[in-house]
Amino acid sequence: MRAIKLGMVLLMLLNLTGCWSKTELDELTFIYGMYFDKGKEPGTVEVSISSPLPNRLMSGSQGGSGASDGKAYSMISKTAATIPEAVILIQKDLSRRLEISHIKIVVVGKEYASQGIGEMLEWFKRQPEIPLGTYIMAAPGRASEIPKLSPIFEQLPDQVLSSISKENLLFSTTIRDCMLSEVSHMGYAMNYLSFGQKTDSTEKKDEYWVGVGGVMLFQDMKMRGLMNVNEGRDLAWAAGTIAGHITFPMYPIVWDDDGKGAASAIFVRNSAASSVSMTPDGPLFQVKIKGNASITYFKDSEHRDADKLSALLVSKLEQKVAGEVSAALEHIRQEGVDVLHLGMLVEWNYPAEWKKLRERWEDYYTSKARIKVTAKFVIEDFGSEK
């Protein structure tokens, strides 16, 4: 009995030894953003990291104003033959250990995307601390230029980029989405940023701004093409990813031969669904889009009320949206990028047919795939008109 009591006391004492493997927060450098570019030397890659500077951040500050004597974040870039080597070079220049588990955003440069992002995705697979839900987007030039943006409403540039993805303005692509698409040999799209410089008239200095300039298309880990904002919006609607609480999809329509009848409709709700049916000529894909619209602008040459032309407005909207979505899907089909994962629809619903198409799916999709788009809309209100 005495031995048991002694053993229990020893066990309790062991719990008082503390955490032998602890790491203090002030010993870590938290990576919030990673930026990948093609190196200046052939066969090299440039990796840049962005991390906050706690000593320059003030709680409750906005617009990056917490950095009273400089920026509230640091940027470090290194070039090497591989991504792991570049990361090690970055670590050598730091007095704190890199911590990547808090990463918020990944940006790839246009040249790097053109040559392929396979090495980057493979490195992510081997880093268990990287959240697979991290957002990823593409830059129009070098990715390392993007953090120069002025974070007006946020403290850090990475927070601005993360907010753009969270609000789902077009696509909210994550590392997980890219990996799953690659495993399935399907295509995917990510937001393609716009980046520029403007002069602040109040402070007489140049500032950089960033926004969503379109969509970058990927297949087999390489960039296949680009789409502008309007095309990207139509593709995002077909893919069922477009948002509705920040930038509502808005479409203008006209009627009458002289074009004097015009209206603008903003969609407060939208959805899309894809299906496949087998025909004698092969699979037929159908994309059905639905939406509830509000009329925000109306002008009729005959001075008719908007509610009297409800049927006409719905018909015009359905024709316009279905036509533009069809054009966007035709664009990605010609690029050979299966963003809607139509091949997986065939595999799930017609496995025997998929066995015949699997090895040549990309060629079949590019040259023979038939996609039919239909739209069904409802007008919820006509603004303040009674």
Residue 26 has pLDDT above 90, yes or no: no
Sign, CA dihedral 62-67-68-70, equals negative
DSSP class of residue 174 equals: B
Cβ neighbourhood burial of 137 (10 Å; 0-12, 13-18, 19+): buried
The pLDDT tens digits of the residues spanning 139-153 come to 999 999 988 887 777
A 10 A CB-CB count for 153 gives 10
Q: What is the pLDDT of residue 63?
A: 46
3-state helix, strand, coil in the chain (%, to 5): 35, 35, 30
Q: Which residues of 39-62 are buried (b: 16+ CB within 10 A; e: fewer)?
A: beeeeebbbbbbbbeeebeeeeee
Q: Rounded to a whole number, what is the distance in angstroms from the first to the last CA of the chain?
A: 89
To the nearest whole percent, how much of the chain has pLDDT over 90? 52
**Is 104's pLDDT higher than 70?**
yes
Q: Encode pLDDT of 217-267 as tens digits.
A: 999 999 999 999 999 999 998 998 765 444 568 889 898 766 678 999 988
Which amino acid belongs to residue 42?
P
pTM: 0.85
Fold that domain 248-386 belongs to in CATH: GMP Synthetase; Chain A, domain 3 (3.30.300)
Number of alpha carbons in the 13 Å side-chain half-sphere of residue 316: 20
**Domain extent listing, the chain:** 28-243, 248-386
Query: pLDDT band for position 385 (50/70/90)?
Result: low
pLDDT at 363 over 90: yes
Q: Return the pLDDT at 65.
A: 40
- CA atoms of 62 and 72, how far apart (whole Å): 11
Place of tokens 């966007």: 328
Backbone angles phi, psi at 168, to 5 degrees: 60, 50
How many Cβ atoms sit within 10 Å of the Cβ of residue 16? Answer: 6
pLDDT at 156: 79
Share of the chain above pLDDT 70, in %: 84
